[in-house]
Amino acid sequence: MSTVTEYAPTQETVVPDQPGRSGDPGFLADTWNVMVRELKPVFREPASVLFAMVQPLVFLGLFAPLLPQVENGSALQWFVPGIIAMTALMGASFTGANLMQEIITGSHERLLVSPLSRSSLLVGRALKEVVPMLMQAGIILLVVTPFSFDLHVGGVLVGMVILALFSVGVGALSFALALVSKDQEWMFWTVQQTLIFPVLLLAGVLLPLEGAPGWLQVAADLNPLKYVVEAERALFAGSFPVDTVAYGFVGAAVVTALGLVIGLRAMRRSS
Amino acid sequence: MSEHTETPMIRTRGLTKHFTRHKKTIEAVRGLDLDVHRGELVAFLGPNGAGKSTTLRMLTTLIGPTSGSAEVAGYDVVTHQRDVRRSIGYVGQGNAAGHTQRGRDEMVSQARAHGLTRHEASRRADELLEAFDLTEHAGRPVSTLSGGQRRRLDIAIGLVHTPRLLFLDEPSTGLDPQNRANLQEQIKRLHTENGTTIVLTTHYLEEADAIADRVVVIDHGLVIADDTASALKSGLGDLVTLGFGSAHDATVAESAAARLHGDASIERTGSVVTIRTRGGAEMVPQMVQDLAAAEAPVRRIEVAGPTLDDVFLDLTGRSLRETNDTTDETPEGAAA
């Protein structure tokens, strides 16, 4: 440590109490602050979003070519919406690892002692998930559009709204898992890794569920991601079946509601 | 402002915290009564697991007390958490800045969390970065900063809203002696120049001795002493260590010394006799003559003033230095 400049605050800052305060920030301002803080590293190092999508890109490159040709439309057209949903699931479910790192290194504790409300600490973080998800979806669409994939912009935009909702929910669940795991990293990764592939397979992301046995159908029907993926497939194909899309929204909304309830509970108990 | 000169910055009454670990109740803090007034610089001194950090975590609203009450900056820590959080600065044992973040981003974010305007937050961040010699590192990822730089950043973040009361939990743990000295210098300056009330925990005797106006010694969740470092030490005498040519001489000296200095505490180990007595340094010349007359000539003399470790030893029968080396059971850490 070199010599330190004298700590001499200006006149303004020694005025007691509230120098330059804009008043009491409410929930929205707090949430915005937390979200902006979370986004800073993403914008400072945009390439970081690529690390979180290595697996989906591998599936896209090595799995998609193996798919049999389907009757109407290309295999890619069927596969891409699922892969984008997979990217959203992967990215958002990893995100708790960042919080866990902050629990271990101490910055989470600093935020708990700041005036930011517990709910804003959870909601702001979860909302941030939308941004990397959109960036990743954009990258995938950019990669596949030159190939046998037709981009239907309207459908894709509606699909992104559903996925945004889904990402917020999964992100909140991932934060809850991190808060419960505290500094036990193995616990976070064990639970995350154990859940992620059943959820993916039971959503028909890699292979269609049509020929599945009854018990597997039932399990898939209980998986909110299945409805999200079905809605995405319809929307990405340029169609708009109201019931399928509505089910997609409901599936994503269920995850969001669950995530926020569990996440808020975990954040309030955090110390 | 006047109300705060009368109301203590911190007031606890019967503050208690119990943890349950493996069906066993750990009484981390047992009925703490403490007043800290505006402008004080107080060190909580004690071994690991003594309850210092648990106390700090209750005062900063991180954990709720099991019983008793605490008011910080005039607000109850249970019913007015947000007011407490707005009024205090807190530098925990870990790093305030996220390791993937940039230092300046974190400072601005913290200032905004405290309600500073965008412009003011930015100005204040730059001012503190300058003051803590961090300007050139402000744009680097926190993970790439050195330990000393990170610690300075922690403190800068804790000060961004100009708190009247600053808590520091083990501020210099893990720093090398050079960085530790610089940090202590900075804390002292913050106190003398800004009048910031500061409460810090430490298990370094030298640190408490060097910077605190007031030392609160905590052991097993209880305050066992509370005074200025010099007042705590003045209760104890100087330690005079006398070396003799043989164990026999030392035995003779031991009984002679016991005769001559009835109120001193005297111990002999082999050919060495230690005498703890008030004003020991002044007594030594006479002591040497007396012992020579008693046919126990002194070969070697060492006189040491009392340290805070002697205070701790006197109060608990244990040396804080040794306790630090052996104890690693921290209920507050386990419950964090």
Whether the CB of A22 is below 8 Å from some CB of chain B: the reply is yes
One domain, residues B33 and B146: yes
B80 and B143 co-located in one domain: yes
- B146 and B184 part of one domain: yes
Of B92, B94, B190, the CB nearest to A7: B190
Last residue of a domain, one of B233, B260, B291: B233
Tokens describing residue A212 = 């599945």
Query: To the nearest 5 percent, what fractions of chain A are helix, strand and coil?
Result: 70, 0, 30
Q: Measured between CA atoms, how close is B148 to chain A, in angstroms?
A: 6
Instruction: Looking at the structure, tell me whether residues B11 and B140 fall in a common domain.
Output: yes
Q: Comparing C-alpha atoms, which of B333, B9, B3 is closest to residue B167?
A: B9
**Structure token pair of residue B219:** 């052991």
Cβ contacts of A22 on chain B, cutoff 8 Å: 115-117
Would you say residue B19 lies in a domain? Answer: yes
Q: How far is the alpha carbon of B39 from chain A, nearest alpha carbon, in Å?
A: 13
pLDDT per position as a tens digit, A58-78: 888 888 888 877 666 678 888
List the one residue out of B218, B209, B224, B223 whose CA is nearest residue B305: B209
Task: Look up tokens 């244990």; give the residue.
Answer: B318
The nearest alpha carbon in chain B to A39 belongs to B101
Q: 3-state SS of chain B: helix, strand, coil percent to 5?
A: 45, 30, 30
**89-128 of A, contacting B, C-beta below 8 A:** 98, 101-102, 104-107, 109-117
Q: Is residue B213 part of a domain?
A: yes
Chain A hits for B133, CB-CB cut-off 8 Å, are: 1-5
A6 contact residues in B (CB cutoff 8 A): 131, 189
- B194/A117 CB distance under 8 A: no
Put simply, whether A25 touches B (Cβ < 8 Å) is yes
CB-based contact A106 B92, cutoff 8 Å? yes
Q: Which two tokens stand for residue B81?
A: 């958490």
Domain harbouring B98, CATH code: 3.40.50.300
- Of B213, B233, B253, the one marking the end of a domain is B233
Domain assignment present for residue B133? The answer is yes
Nearest by Cα to B198 from B215, B180, B182, B174: B215
Place of tokens 């005797």: B205
Minimum distance, in Å, between the CA of residue A137 and any CA atom of chain B? 23
pLDDT at A15 over 70: no
Residue B317 falls inside a structural domain: no
Answer yes or no: is B56 within a domain: yes
CATH number, position B285: 3.30.70
Cβ distance A114 to B110 less than 8 Å, yes or no, reads yes
B135 Cα to chain A: minimum distance (Å): 11
Nearest to B178 among A1, A37, A182 (CB): A1
In angstroms, rounded to a whole number, what is the distance separating the alpha carbons of residues B222 and B33?
Answer: 9
Taking contacts as CB-CB distances below 8 angstroms, the residues of chain A near B119 are: 20
For residues B54 and B42, membership in a common domain is answered with yes
End-to-end alpha carbon distance in chain B: 35
Does A5 lie at the interface with B, CB-CB under 8 angstroms?
yes
Task: For residues B229 and B267, state if they share a domain.
Answer: no
Residues B227 and B243 in one domain: no
pLDDT at residue A48, rounded to an integer? 86
Residues B21 and B71 in one domain: yes
Partner residues linked to B265 by β-bridges: B276
Rounded-to-integer distance, Cα A172 and Cα A177, Å: 9
Which pLDDT tens digit goes with each residue over A100-140?
Answer: 999 999 999 999 999 999 999 999 999 999 999 999 999 99
Residues B148 and B262 in one domain: no
Contact A110 B179 (CB under 8 A): no
Q: Are residues B54 and B149 in the same domain?
A: yes
ipTM tops 0.95: no
The residues, ordered by sequence, that sit 6+ positions from A200 with a Cβ below 8 Å of its Cβ are A86, A89, A206, A225
| pLDDT computed for residue A17 by the predictor | 45
Measured between alpha carbons, how far is B322 from B307 in angstroms, rounded to an integer? Answer: 14
CA distance B124 to chain A (A): 9
Say whether B294 sits in a helix, a strand or coil.
coil
Closest CA to B10 of B199, B213, B266, B210: B199
Question: Of B6, B39, B3, nearest to B164 (Cα)?
Answer: B39
Rg of the Cα atoms in chain A: 21
Q: Is the pLDDT of residue A197 over 50?
A: yes
Is residue A46 helix, strand or coil?
coil
Q: Are residues B163 and B260 in the same domain?
A: no
Name the residue with higher pLDDT: B7 or A31. Answer: A31
Shared domain for B245 and B136, answered yes or no, is no
Number of separate domains in chain B: 2
Chain A residue with Cα closest to B166: A113
Q: Which residues of chain A make contact with B82, given a CB cutoff of 8 A?
A: 115, 117
Of A5, A25, A271, the CB nearest to B115: A25
CA distance A42 to chain B (A): 9
Which of residues B183, B216, B233 is at a domain's end?
A: B233
pTM above the 0.90 mark?
A: no
Domain membership flag for residue B326: no
Local structure of B242: helix, strand or coil? strand
Q: Is B74 within a domain?
A: yes
CB–CB of A124/A31 below 8 Å? yes
Judge whether B182 lies within some domain: yes
Tokens of A251: 């599936």
Compare all CA atoms of chain A with the CA of B81 and give the residue at the minimum distance: A115
Digitized pLDDT (tens) for each residue of chain B, 336 residues in all: 444 456 899 999 999 999 988 888 889 999 999 999 999 999 999 888 889 999 999 999 999 999 999 999 999 999 999 999 999 999 999 999 999 999 999 999 999 999 999 999 999 999 999 988 999 999 999 999 998 899 999 999 999 999 999 999 999 887 888 888 888 888 998 899 888 999 999 888 888 888 898 999 999 999 998 998 888 888 788 888 999 988 898 988 888 888 877 778 888 888 999 888 888 888 888 888 888 888 888 999 998 888 888 888 888 877 777 666 544 444 444 443
Q: Which domain holds residue B247?
A: 237-305
Check residue B142 and give its pLDDT. Answer: 95
CA distance B12 to B16: 10
Residue A247 class from Cβ within 10 Å (0-12 exposed, 13-18 middle, 19+ buried)?
middle
> Which chain A residues are closer than 8 Å to B152 by Cβ?
1, 4
